[in-house]
Structure 1
Amino acid sequence: MNRDATRPAGPAHLRPDAPGSERPPVPRPTVEELRLTSFKSYRRAVLPLAPLTVLYGPAGVGKSNALDALAVLSRLALGEEITDSLDGLPDRTGPLAVPVRGGLAGCVPHGRDAIILGCTVRSPHGRIRLDIVIRTDGPVRIARETLTLDGRTLVDTGEQDVRNHRVNVCWHNDTRQGDIRAPFPSGTMITAQLPLRVAGSSAGECLVLAAAEDLLTALREVFPLHPVPALMRDWARADPQARLRGNAANISAVIDRLSNECPRRYGQLLRVVQSAAPHPLLGLAVAERESEGVRRVLAVFDEGVLGRTGADQASDGMLRHLAFAAVLLTGAGVLDLDVAAEVPWAHRQLTVLAEDLGAGLSVEQTASLLRLARDMAERGQLRVAAALQEPAAAREALGAGDLRSGGAVVVECRRDPGSGFTVLRPEAARVPAQGGRGEGAGGGDGAAEAARSVGERSVGEPVAEGAGSAVDGDAVDLEG
Structure 2
Amino acid sequence: MTVLPGAKDPISAAGPHRQPTVVELRLSAFKSHRGTAVPLGPVTLVAGASGSGKSSVLQVYEALARLGGGAELAEVFPRPVECVPERARPDAQGRRGFRIGCTVDGPVGPVRLDLAVQVEPELRIAGERLTCDGRTLLTTALRDPARRSVQAAWHTAGAAPVTRAPMPDDRLGTALLPLRVAGRTPGQLQVLAAAEQVILALRSVFACDPRPPRMRQPVPTGEGRLRTGCDNLAEVLWRTRSQCAKRHARLTAMVRAGCAGPVAELTVEELVNGTVRAVLARGERWSTPVERLGDGELRYLALALVLLTGPGVLAMDTVAEVPPAMQALTVLADGFDRSLDGTQARQLLGLAAAVCGERHMRLVGAVTDAPYARGVDGVTVVDLGL
TM over 0.5: yes
Tell me which amino acid in the other structure corresponds to 1:109.
Answer: P
Asked if 1:38 is matched to 2:1, the reply is no
- DSSP-derived class of the 1:211 partner: helix
| Superposition map of 1:281-360 within 5 A | 281-291=263-273, 295-304=274-283, 307-360=286-339
Inter-CA distance 162–25: structure 2 relative to 1 (3 Å threshold): closer
> Greater shift after overlay, 42-51 or 255-264?
255-264
1:205 & 1:25 partners in 2: Cα distance? 21
| Superposition map of 1:331-480 within 5 A | 331-395=310-374, 398-399=375-376, 402=377, 407-413=378-384, 423=385, 425=386
1:404-437 per-residue CA deviation (whole Å, 9 max, x = no partner) reads xxx3211112xxxxxxxxx3x5xxxxxxxxxxxx
Quick check: which one's strand share is greater? 2
1:108 & 1:301 partners in 2: Cα distance? 47
| 1:140 CA drift (Å) | 1.3
1:201-248 per-residue CA deviation (whole Å, 9 max, x = no partner) reads 222112111111110110111211111101111222212x32211111
Partner of 1:466: none
Residue of 204, 208, 220 corresponding to 1:221: 204
Identity %: 39
Partner of 1:154: 137
| 1:57 CA drift (Å) | 2.3
| 1:318 CA drift (Å) | 1.0
Partner of 1:62: 53
Partner of 2:20: 29
1:65-100 per-residue CA deviation (whole Å, 9 max, x = no partner) reads 11111111111111121001333xxxxxxxxxxxxx
| 1:25 CA drift (Å) | 10
CA contact (8 A) 2:206 2:330 kept: yes
| 1:285 CA drift (Å) | 0.9
CA contact (8 A) 2:327 2:360 kept: no
1:308 & 1:161 partners in 2: Cα distance? 67
Asked if 1:104 is matched to 2:86, the reply is no
1:228 & 1:340 partners in 2: Cα distance? 27
Unaligned 5+ runs, structure 2: 1-14, 89-95
2:122 & 2:182 partners in 1: Cα distance? 29
2:116 & 2:348 partners in 1: Cα distance? 36
2:183 & 2:272 partners in 1: Cα distance? 54
Partner of 1:118: 101
- Two-structure CA RMSD over aligned residues (Å): 1.8
Unaligned 5+ runs, structure 1: 1-23, 88-102, 414-422, 426-480
Tell me which amino acid in the other structure corresponds to 1:300.
Answer: V
Residue of 163, 175, 189 corresponding to 1:206: 189
Quick check: which one's helix share is greater? 1
Tell me which amino acid in the other structure corresponds to 2:80.
Answer: L
2:290 & 2:361 partners in 1: Cα distance? 27
1:121-168 per-residue CA deviation (whole Å, 9 max, x = no partner) reads 001011100000010113311101000112111001134333221011
Inter-CA distance 86–340: structure 2 relative to 1 (3 Å threshold): farther
| 1:380 CA drift (Å) | 1.3
TM-score, with structure 1 as normaliser? 0.73
2:326 & 2:383 partners in 1: Cα distance? 32
Partner of 2:166: 183
